[in-house]
Amino acid sequence: MAQSVLLTGAAGRVGTAILDGLVDERDYEWRLLDRDPPTEDHPGEFVVADITDEEAVREAMEGIDAVIHLAGDPRKTAPWESVLPNNIDGTRVVYEAAVDAGVEKVAFASSNHAVGAYETDERTPEMYREEDDFLLDGSELPRPGNLYGVSKAAGETLGRYYHDEYGLSVACVRIGNLTEGHPPIDYERGQAMWLSYRDCAHLFDRCIQADYGYEIVYGISDNDRKYYSIDRAREVLGYNPQDNSAEHD
Ligand SMILES: NC(=O)C1=CN([C@@H]2O[C@H](COP(=O)(O)OP(=O)(O)OC[C@H]3O[C@@H](n4cnc5c(N)ncnc54)[C@H](O)[C@@H]3O)[C@@H](O)[C@H]2O)C=CC1
Ligand SMILES: O=C1O[C@H](COP(=O)(O)O)[C@@H](O)[C@H](O)[C@H]1O
């Protein structure tokens, strides 16, 4: 039977990458949720709701097997007044409703900014280059460099709680820098953590398909220069990225 997947933040960039990559590939029954109504054709059902609206999220969660939770404020400059409701409280609402609805898996869009403060003056810019061997693998403590990063670390910790307490499978994907078509130009850091659209779709697909308990993985393409390991994503999720920012130099 087709799996039913709730995609929050469906109208955004990451949501678009996932839908573009998976709609024709996979037989998922999509339920899309965003506070902004759709502007384009979309698969499945579209629920216009805010993730802080507990009742609406509960309703949207009915009959769902897996959730890809993207909705939130993606700005690294986002103030506390925004990340507290949109990224922290809204994420708690999503996990809580998922547990109550008997959902199996939640893939959470975390961010490189949850660990941004590892990029110290002493390490940069060398760590963005191929010859440098500094590597974060997901087992390190969060080290945010802004309140947005704090909110993503909070989302990861909420996931840990809902996994340990209720057995929900949770994959936190620390997404790098998603750009369509090619890596960011003249931006070493962005090239080292580039995530192509097709690798993004494939990675979240693996989060729906694979078996896991609680995981933190990095969401980047197989870039020659990288300071995030993708070994865990390969091992646990079966992630097999096709793109590499070096091929666009
Ligand atoms: N684009 C990137 O390179 C990266 C994105 N991420 C994370 O991935 C997720 C998606 O990011 P993007 O697609 O780039 O952002 P986006 O701004 O393009 O999309 C986010 C979507 O979430 C919706 N949304 C925001 N707050 C909401 C709320 N309270 N209730 C319902 N819907 C709400 C917005 O309407 C928007 O359609 C975010 O959580 C972001 O922090 C993490 C790392 C990198
Ligand atoms: O979490 C995010 O990270 C990406 C990449 O960060 P940046 O510091 O290289 O801009 C960012 O583009 C995206 O908006 C944000 O949600």
DSSP state of 51: T
Consult the annotation and say whether 226 binds a ligand: no
Spacing of C-alpha 217 from chain mean position: 9
Q: State the pLDDT at residue 91.
A: 99
pLDDT in single tens digits along all 249 residues of the chain: 789 999 999 999 999 999 999 999 999 999 999 999 998 889 999 999 999 999 999 999 999 999 999 999 999 999 999 999 999 999 999 999 999 999 999 999 999 999 999 999 999 999 999 999 999 999 999 999 999 999 999 999 999 999 999 999 999 999 999 999 999 999 999 999 999 999 999 999 999 999 999 999 999 999 999 999 999 999 999 999 999 999 997
Closest alpha carbon to 108 in 190, 163, 60, 186: 163
Ligand with minimal distance to 50 CA: 1
C-alpha span between 7 and 23 (Å, rounded): 12
Q: Is the ipTM of this complex over 0.90?
A: yes
Which tens digits make up the pLDDT trace of 111-135? 999 999 999 999 999 999 999 999 9
> Given its phi and psi angles, is residue 197 left (phi above 0), alpha (psi -120 to 50 degrees) or beta?
alpha
CB atoms within 10 A of CB 89: 17
Q: Does the annotation count 148 as an active-site position?
A: yes
Report whether 128 contacts 188 (CB < 8 A). yes
CATH of 3-243, one of 1.10.3720.10, 3.40.1080.10, 3.40.50.720, 3.40.50.2000: 3.40.50.720
Report whether 64 contacts 100 (CB < 8 A). no
* Peptide bond preceding 125 in cis form (omega within 30 of 0): yes
Any alpha helices (H) in 86-133, and if so which ranges? 90-101
Of 87, 113, 173, the one to substitute when testing ligand 2's pocket (max ligand atoms within 8 A of C-beta) is: 113
Consult the annotation and say whether 111 binds a ligand: yes
Residues 6+ apart with CB under 8 A from 118: 136, 140, 143
Which tens digits make up the pLDDT trace of 31-71? 999 999 998 889 999 999 999 999 999 999 999 999 999 99
Ligand with minimal distance to 155 CA: 1
Rg (CA), the chain: 17
Residues with CB under 6 A from ligand 2: 74, 76, 111-113, 177, 189-190
Report whether 237 contacts 215 (CB < 8 A). yes
Q: Please state whether the predicted TM-score (pTM) of the whole model is above 0.95.
A: yes
Closest alpha carbon to 14 in 245, 169, 247, 179: 179
Any alpha helices (H) in 114-193, and if so which ranges? 147-166, 188-192
Q: State the pLDDT at residue 40.
A: 85
C-alpha span between 196 and 126 (Å, rounded): 23
CB atoms within 10 A of CB 38: 12
